[in-house]
């Protein structure tokens, strides 16, 4: 027996066993104050983050003898310690909880990926306001209407408003330099304010009507237009009266099509959680100004074993942390104890009822959202089945042991601003959080071979040292040269055993004609255009290309916006401004000689020579 005199003194001690978690000792120290708690396992990994009005009562609820949720019971069995943070209010606890969930991604918290901003319709406050699609942070320099669930919904609404109110959609730079009406004026989608076809007062009236329409005041807009039509007819301006009549007919047509419209002109969200065959979908539908604008389905992560009500509550807490809350939220099912209403009101900074619908129209909205959630589950199940078949075909074709595929691509413009991408596919789809970009440096511009070699070396350097995750298959977007360089890089790292193929584009880059290149000299392989493995390879390759191109364009744009003058010693903001103003731009400055540069105030001959040499 270990520790007895007869024990073998030379026997190495066994692994240390962590003492069992003492819940009673913990609970004795917890206050009945609002705060956030973090459940942590023996490896110091955060399992769960939660908030509480009373830390003592909430944490105690996890350590009952028989927990009703098998999922939570499994988590509790892994707890090694619980860390707590006391805050001033339940609202503060909610904000801290959300921030910690976003940063730590705990295994037992239900997670929603909703990092996209929602689009709006914007009316600028220029003399002749512009109607446009907008995505991003809002401010007080314009009027914003929305948000909308998708860009399609915004563009359809903008198109409708163009037809009814003929507002301009062009950029200010285009508007200021028009000398004659554009095509939109010719097809009666714009009233032509850029060339004086409409005066500021009449245009302002159209802008006001458009804003009222977006606020859900369609009946009031029709009443005003009726009055204007009567005035025009009395003045014998029959052409103008006919134009207004057409506007009224368009508005009535829109009202007839909006069978899900509310006469109250309110802003509400409809959030419905549905579970079918082990998949949970939370569907968000938006009503703005009384008009149903469409919906968007969300599929939570870490949701195995949770109920629809739990998923819905998690969605509300995470969604309204990043997005503005409407006047009311209709939900199904309704989480217990009004926890949802408290959370949304705290995040919105004002009372925001979260309720089940009672009237017929809200009930109809909820039914529609539930039906769309079930359709989204069916579509996702079909997509997952297809992905599984494609992955299985790829594994069988190349004898792969795992399901992780990584793909590299290079993007540059004539050698300028080269960027390499590495995207990851695993299991059910692309792993965007694991994507990587590499700014390629110290190579001959345009040398794709050297760029691929550098990217592969940098990506798998940690894998070679035992830190990173090795893929089951590496894809290289390129032909024999790129594959040879990538294989050389893997050999240098001692990872030549990793399977790799190149994806060479076919004739005219037509999908389905790709040739697969092997680093070991085997004959290239061309799969049938509809082969499941090839379809998966194309999907991953196209994503690598997209990711590389977007990174390259961002880098190139940043470099081109940065004046080369900034790299010259002795040139500060004032001298840079004086030089640009004197020569009319960077190109004129580059064409200037030393004597011409010296003629600019504050530029010595020595500095002029440095500028001339730097811009050659």
Q: Are 417 and 398 in contact (CB under 8 A)?
A: no
- Count of Cβ atoms closer than 10 Å to residue 70 Cβ: 9
- Encoded tokens for 247: 């506007």
User: Is the pLDDT confidence value at 288 over 50?
Assistant: yes
Evaluate if residue 508 carries a pLDDT over 70: no
Contact 27, 56 (CB under 8 A): yes
The strand pairing partners of 133, in sequence order, are: 121
Task: Report pLDDT digits (tens) over 548-581.
Answer: 999 988 887 766 555 567 767 788 878 877 887 7
For the segment 317-338, the average pLDDT, to the nearest whole number, is: 88
Average confidence score pLDDT of the chain? 84
Among the residue ranges 44-58, 75-89, 420-434, 569-583, the one predicted with the least confidence is 569-583
Inter-residue contact 169 to 194 (CB < 8 Å): no
User: Which pLDDT value is given to residue 548?
Assistant: 93
User: What does the block give as tokens for 121?
Assistant: 């319709």
Over residues 296-313, the pLDDT tens digits come to 899 998 888 888 999 999
Phi, psi of 83 (to 5 degrees): -100, 140
Which CATH architecture is the domain 564-614 placed in? Answer: Orthogonal Bundle (1.10)
* Tokens of residue 433, six digits: 């959080």
Task: Give the whole-angstrom CA distance, residue 482 versus residue 53.
Answer: 59
Those residues with Cβ within 8 angstroms of residue 182's Cβ, 6 or more apart along the chain or in another chain: 170, 190, 194
DSSP structure class, residue 565: G
Q: 268-379 sits in which CATH class? A: alpha beta
- Around 94, how many Cα atoms within 13 Å sit in the side-chain half-sphere? 25
Is the pLDDT reported for residue 142 higher than 90?
A: no
> Is it the case that residue 477 has pLDDT exceeding 60?
yes
Ranges of each domain in the chain? 23-104, 119-257, 268-379, 404-559, 564-614
Q: Which position has the token pair 């195995």?
A: 304
Is a pLDDT exceeding 90 seen at residue 246? no
Predicted pLDDT of residue 6:
45
Q: What is the 3-state secondary structure (H, E, C) of 275-332?
A: EECCEEEEEEEEEECCEEEEEEEECCECCCCCCHHHHHHHHHHHHHHHCCCCCEEEEE
Task: Go through the chain and tell me how many residues it has.
Answer: 616
Could you tell me which CATH class the domain 404-559 is placed in? alpha beta
Residue 264 CA from chain centroid, whole number: 32
Q: At residue 206, does pLDDT exceed 90?
A: no
Domains 23-104 and 404-559 share a fold: no
Give the residue from 503, 448, 441, 447 showing the smallest Cα distance to 474. Answer: 503
91 by Cβ neighbours in 10 Å (0-12 / 13-18 / 19+) ranks as middle
Question: Is a pLDDT exceeding 80 seen at residue 69?
Answer: no
Can you give the pTM of this predicted structure? 0.65
Per-residue confidence band for 181, with pLDDT thresholds at 50, 70 and 90:
confident
DSSP run (H or E) holding 143: strand 142-145
522/517 Cα distance (integer angstroms): 8
Element (H, E) at 575: helix 573-583
Chain centroid to CA 121: how far?
19
Give exposure, 451-475, as e/b (b: 16+ Cβ within 10 Å). bbbbbbbebbeebeeeeeeebbbbb
DSSP symbols for 156-210:
HHHHHHHHHH----S-HHHHHT-SS--HHHHTTS---GGGTSS-HHHHHHHHHHH
Q: What CATH number is given for 23-104 in this structure?
A: 3.40.1440.10
- DSSP reduced 3-state for 530: coil
């Amino acid at each position: 027996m270990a520790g007895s005199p007869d024990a073998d003194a030379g026997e190495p001690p066994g692994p240390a066993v962590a003492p069992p978690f003492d819940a009673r000792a913990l609970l004795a120290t917890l206050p009945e104050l609002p705060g956030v708690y973090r459940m942590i396992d023996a490896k110091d990994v955060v399992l769960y983050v939660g908030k509480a009005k009373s830390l003592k009562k909430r944490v105690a609820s996890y350590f009952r003898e028989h927990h009703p949720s098998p999922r939570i019971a499994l988590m509790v069995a892994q707890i090694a310690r619980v860390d707590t943070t006391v805050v001033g209010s339940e609202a503060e606890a909610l904000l801290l909880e959300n921030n910690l969930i976003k940063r730590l991604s705990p295994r037992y918290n239900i997670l929603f990926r909703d990092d996209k901003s929602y689009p709006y319709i914007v009316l600028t406050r220029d003399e002749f306001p512009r109607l446009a699609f907008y995505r991003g942070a809002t401010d007080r320099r314009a009027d914003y209407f929305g948000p909308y669930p998708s860009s399609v919904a915004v563009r359809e609404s903008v198109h409708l408003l163009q037809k009814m109110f003929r507002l301009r959609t062009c950029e200010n730079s285009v508007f200021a330099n028009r000398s004659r009406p554009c095509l939109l004026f010719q097809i009666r989608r714009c009233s032509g304010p850029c060339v004086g076809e409409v005066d500021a007062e009449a245009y302002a009236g159209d802008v006001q009507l458009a804003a009222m329409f977006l606020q859900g005041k369609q009946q009031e807009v029709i009443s005003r237009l009726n009055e204007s039509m009567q005035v025009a007819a009395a003045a014998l301006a029959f052409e103008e009266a006919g134009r207004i009549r057409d506007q009224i007919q368009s508005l009535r047509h829109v009202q007839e099509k909006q069978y899900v419209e509310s006469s109250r002109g309110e802003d509400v969200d409809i959030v419905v959680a549905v579970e079918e065959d082990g998949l949970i979908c939370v569907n968000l539908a938006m009503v703005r100004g009384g008009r149903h604008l469409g919906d968007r389905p969300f599929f939570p992560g870490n949701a195995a074993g949770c109920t629809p009500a739990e998923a819905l509550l998690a969605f509300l807490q995470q969604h309204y942390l990043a997005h503005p809350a409407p006047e009311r939220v209709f939900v199904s099912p309704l989480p217990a104890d009004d926890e949802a209403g408290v959370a949304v009101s705290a995040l919105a900074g004002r009372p925001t009822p979260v309720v089940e619908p009672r009237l017929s129209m809200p009930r109809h909205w909820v039914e529609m959202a539930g039906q769309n959630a079930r359709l989204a589950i069916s579509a996702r199940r079909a997509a997952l089945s297809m992905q599984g078949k494609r992955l299985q075909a790829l594994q069988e074709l190349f004898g792969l042991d795992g399901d992780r595929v990584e793909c590299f691509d290079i993007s540059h413009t004539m050698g300028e601003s080269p960027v390499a991408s590495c995207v990851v596919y695993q299991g059910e789809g692309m792993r965007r959080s694991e994507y990587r970009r590499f700014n390629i440096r110290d190579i001959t511009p345009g040398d794709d071979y050297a760029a691929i070699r550098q990217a592969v070396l940098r990506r798998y350097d940690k894998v070679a040292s035992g830190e990173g995750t090795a893929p089951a298959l590496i894809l290289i977007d390129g032909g024999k040269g790129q594959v040879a360089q990538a294989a050389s890089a893997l050999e240098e790292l001692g990872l030549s055993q990793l399977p790799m193929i190149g994806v060479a584009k076919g004739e005219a880059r037509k999908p389905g004609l790709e040739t697969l290149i092997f680093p070991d000299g085997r004959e290239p392989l061309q799969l049938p255009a509809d082969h499941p493995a090839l379809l998966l390879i194309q999907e991953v390759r196209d994503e690598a290309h997209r990711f590389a191109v977007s990174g390259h364009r961002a880098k190139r744009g940043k470099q081109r916006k940065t004046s080369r003058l900034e790299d010259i010693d002795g040139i500060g903001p004032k001298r840079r401004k004086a030089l640009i103003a004197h020569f009319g731009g960077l190109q004129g400055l580059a064409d200037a000689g030393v004597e011409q540069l010296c003629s600019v105030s504050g530029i010595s001959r020595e500095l002029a020579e440095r500028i001339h040499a730097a811009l050659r």
